[in-house]
Structure 1
Amino acid sequence: MSTLRAVPEPEPAVAPIAVRAAAPAAPPVPTAGGLSWRAWARDDVPALAALMRTVDEADGRSWFMSPEEVAELLDAPHGDPATDTLVGLDADGALVAHASVERSSTDGVDTLRAELGGGVHPGRRGEGIGTELLAWAVGRARQVLAASGTDDRLAALPGRIALHLEDSDPAERVDLARAAGFTPIRFYANLVRDLAEPVPAIGVEPPLRIVPWSDALEDATRLARNDAFRDHWGSQPRTPEAWRAYRSMFAPQWSFVVVDDSVDHPGSATEHPGDESVPPGTPYVVGLHRAERYEHDWETQGYTAGYTGLLGVRRAYRGRRVAAALLTHAMRAFAADGMQKAELDVDTANPTGATGLYARLGYTKNDGSTLYTIEL
C-alpha cells in the first residue's frame, strides 16, 4: 500500500541585494539649517577632528577621534571620500555637521556591510539637520550595498547597515536611529583593569612560544586572526589591505603573537586558497594580541592605559591558555611602561568564553555600546 507524502514547497528565491537594498537614485542631501554641503577634503581633517570632539563631549564621552584617525577614514581601503562622506558648513564656512559611510571588503564575506558615522554640532541641534543627515547616510549605504549585487557571487548575500551608539549617548540619538529604522542587535562592554593590582604569571608550554609582533609575521598573524574570529558574530575575513589599515594608534611594543614551533606554515595558498601572502615554512602563528595607544584620551579619561584592540586564538588551540598568556604578557608590558590601566572592548555574547577570562583576570565594566542595524 503506497503512502502519499507531502512534498515541501521550495523556499522562495532570495531577491538580489540590488533589489533588497532599495537604493535611491541619489541620497537626499540635507536642506535643514541652511547649510552648504560637500564631500570631505584632506584639508578638513583638523576641523573635522575638532567638530567630532565637540559633538562627543556634548554627548558625554571621554574619548575622542584624533586627527590621525580622522585622516584614516579618508584613506579607507574600500571607500571613496568623494561619494561616501558629507560635511555641512555654515554661512561663515565653519564645519557644523558631518557624516560618512564606511564600506567593508566583499572578499570571502557572508554579509555585505556598510557602517555609518556622523554628528551635528550641539549649537545647531533641534533644526532637523541630524534627521536629514542620517537619511543621506542610509541612502548612500543602500547605494553601496546595491552596487555589490553587480557581482553574481554576492547578489544573494544578506546586507547590513550598521550604526554604533555609546551607552553615554543622549536619548535623542537613540530615538533618531530608531525612527530611521535601526534596531539594536548586539551589545558590547568596555572593560578596564587596574594594573596596580598584581598580574598573574601565565605562560605557554613548548612548542608554543610568545614572540614580539613583527613585519615578517604580519600576514601569518592576519590568517590566525581570520581563523580565530570565524565563529564570531559579524566578523568577516580581513584582506591584506584591510588588515594594514587603521594603524595610526597601533602600539607594536605592546603587541605579541604565539607561534607553534612544531608546525611550519603550509602557505596561505593552501590554508586559504587564492591567498598567496604567506610562503610555506613561515612560523605558524596560533594566537595574537594587537595593542593600541590612545594617549590623546588619557587626560579626559583620568588615567593612562594600554588598549587591547585584538586578542584571538586559532580555534584548534583554544583551551591551552594562549589567550590568558598573551593578555597577561601584554598587561605586564603596559605596566612596565607606566600605564595605570589595561583596557579592551568585548562582545557580551562572545562565543569563546572571553568575558569569563577577563573577569578572572580582574577586568570590570567601565561603559558600553550597542550596535544598531538595518538588516536587508
Structure 2
Amino acid sequence: MSVLSPQHLPAGYRSRPATAADLPAIHGLVTACERALYGRAETDLDAVAADLARPGLVPGLDTVLVLDPAGEPVGRAWVNRRSEADVHPAHRGLGIGGSLLDWIEARARQAGTEWVAQTVPDGDRAAVELLRAHGYGSMVTAWLLEIALPTGSPPPEPPPGVTVRTFRPGDEHPVHLLTEDAFDEWQSRRKSYQEWALLAVERATFAPEMSWLAVADGELVGAVLALDVPDSDEGYVERVAVRADRRNQGIARLLLQHTFRSFHAQGRSSCTLWTHSDTGALALYQRVGMTVRRSSTVHSKAVAIDTRQAGSI
C-alpha cells in the first residue's frame, strides 16, 4: 500500500493512496494552497486529473493522501520521476510536508527511478527551504508571464504564403505532432497523443475559438492553444509552437496577438502563460509586451535505486 507510517504523521492523521473519486477533494486542496500563496485559485480540475493519468503512474503505488482526524484530505503527493506535494495551509508546521518528501524519495527508490524533480514557486520560501534541507538542487527557472489587454498593437500581417485561422475539429492530431516536434528540443520525452490531449484539447477549459493556427502550403506551421478558465478575468495560453523551418518569421507573435485580441473580445483584462529557461522563449514573449509576474524553480534530487525492491512498495 502507498501509505505513510503512523509514526511519520501527527496523532490522529492517517494516509492512503488517491483514487479518481478523490479528484474534487485534491483539487480543493491544491486551490486552497494557491489561494494562500497567490490570493486566487489557478489550477483547474482537468490538470489535477491529468497528473493521475500520467503514463506509468499507478495511483495505488505512486500517490498518497494524508487525511486529518475528520477524514478530510489535508496533504497529497504523487511521484512519476516528476513529483508534486501539497499540504493544506491550516495543517502546516506539523511535519507533514517533510514526511511527504520522504515518501516521494522512498517510492522513487523502490520503483527504480534515478532522480525526482518538483516545481516550487520561488515565493514559497518555506517549501524551497524544505526541499533544500532534503538535498534537492535547482535545475531550471520557470516564469509566469502576463500582458494587459488590449495590447494596443494589432496583429502583424502574416508572412507570404501563410494564413491564420482558429482551431477546428480535425486539427487535434496535427497540432499534437507540431507541438511535440517543437518541444523535442528541450523536453525529456515526447507525450503520446492521449497524454497530450488530457493536458490540452480535451480539457474542459480548452478554448478553440481563442486558439489560433498558422498554415502554409496546406500544412500546419504554428499553433497557440488557449484555455478559458471560468470565473477568471484572465485568458491563458497553454501551448505556443512554430515548426523549426518557419521560425524567426514573426509567426508566434502573429498568433499570440490574435489570441490576445480574442480574449479581449470576451471581456478578459489580461492574458498569461508559463515558459521556462530551457525553451529560450522568454525574450520572444517580452518582445510582444509580456512581463514576468512571478517565477518558480524546478528542484531535483538523485535517488539511490533499491534494486531489491524495484517495482514494489
Q: TM-score, normalised by structure 2?
A: 0.86
Distance 2:155 2:241 in 1: 19
Matched, 1:214 2:168: yes
Identify the match of residue 172 of structure 1 among 111, 126, 143: 126
Superposed displacement of residue 372, structure 1: 0.6
Matched, 1:138 2:94: no
Identify the match of residue 333 of structure 1 among 262, 275, 279: 262
Per-residue Cα deviation, 1:278-333 (whole angstroms, up to 9, x for no partner): xxxxx42111111112234x2xxxxx111111111111111211111111111111
**What is aligned with 1:8?**
none
**What is aligned with 2:18?**
40
Per-residue Cα deviation, 1:244-300 (whole angstroms, up to 9, x for no partner): 112233211111221221xxxxxxxxxxxxxxxxxxxxx42111111112234x2xx
Distance 2:46 2:75 in 1: 19
The residue type paired with residue 10 of structure 2 is G
Task: Spell out the pairing of 1:130-279 with structure 2 (5 A cutoff).
Answer: 130-146=97-113, 159-169=114-124, 171-232=125-186, 234-246=187-199, 247-261=203-217
**What is aligned with 1:96?**
74
**What is aligned with 2:237?**
308
Contact 1:348 1:355 in 2 (8 A): yes
Per-residue Cα deviation, 1:93-132 (whole angstroms, up to 9, x for no partner): 122211112x3xxxxxxxxxx1111222233222222111
Distance 1:205 1:365 in 2: 28
Distance 2:74 2:295 in 1: 27
The residue type paired with residue 168 of structure 1 is G
Unaligned ranges ≥5, structure 1 = 1-24, 104-113, 147-158, 262-282, 299-303
**What is aligned with 2:307?**
none
Superposed displacement of residue 84, structure 1: 1.5
Matched, 1:66 2:44: yes
Distance 2:249 2:89 in 1: 50
**What is aligned with 1:12?**
none
Contact 1:26 1:139 in 2 (8 A): no
Identify the match of residue 294 of structure 1 among 229, 241, 248: 229
Distance 1:359 1:306 in 2: 17
Q: TM-score, normalised by structure 1?
A: 0.73
Contact 1:69 1:248 in 2 (8 A): no
The structure having more radius of gyration, on CA atoms, is 1
Per-residue Cα deviation, 1:330-365 (whole angstroms, up to 9, x for no partner): 1111111111112111214533xx322222221111
Contact 1:199 1:331 in 2 (8 A): no
Contact 2:30 2:86 in 1 (8 A): yes
Identify which of structures 1 and 2 has the higher relative contact order when contacts are C-alpha pairs closer than 8 Å and 6+ apart.
2
Distance 1:369 1:39 in 2: 27
Distance 2:63 2:118 in 1: 15
The residue type paired with residue 140 of structure 2 is R
The residue type paired with residue 197 of structure 1 is T
Superposed displacement of residue 140, structure 1: 1.9
Decide whether aligned partners of structure 1 residues 375 and 258 sit closer, same or farther in structure 2, where only a CA change above 3 A counts. Answer: farther
For residue 171 of structure 2, give the secondary structure of its aligned residue in structure 1.
Answer: helix
Identify the match of residue 83 of structure 2 among 95, 99, 116: 116
Superposed displacement of residue 167, structure 1: 2.3
Contact 1:120 1:130 in 2 (8 A): yes
Superposed displacement of residue 64, structure 1: 3.3
Decide whether aligned partners of structure 1 residues 226 and 96 sit closer, same or farther in structure 2, where only a CA change above 3 A counts. Answer: closer
Superposed displacement of residue 201, structure 1: 2.3
Distance 2:129 2:214 in 1: 44
Contact 2:82 2:118 in 1 (8 A): yes
Contact 1:186 1:347 in 2 (8 A): yes
Decide whether aligned partners of structure 1 residues 163 and 219 sit closer, same or farther in structure 2, where only a CA change above 3 A counts. Answer: same
How many residues are aligned here? 298
Superposed displacement of residue 187, structure 1: 0.7
Runs in 1 of length 4+ with deviation above 6 angstroms? none
For residue 308 of structure 1, give the secondary structure of its aligned residue in structure 2.
Answer: strand
Distance 1:38 1:231 in 2: 38
Identify the match of residue 271 of structure 2 among 310, 324, 342: 342
**What is aligned with 2:33?**
55
The residue type paired with residue 294 of structure 1 is V
Identical positions, percent:
29
Decide whether aligned partners of structure 1 residues 295 and 229 sit closer, same or farther in structure 2, where only a CA change above 3 A counts. Answer: same
The residue type paired with residue 251 of structure 1 is A
**What is aligned with 1:265?**
none
Distance 2:59 2:267 in 1: 39
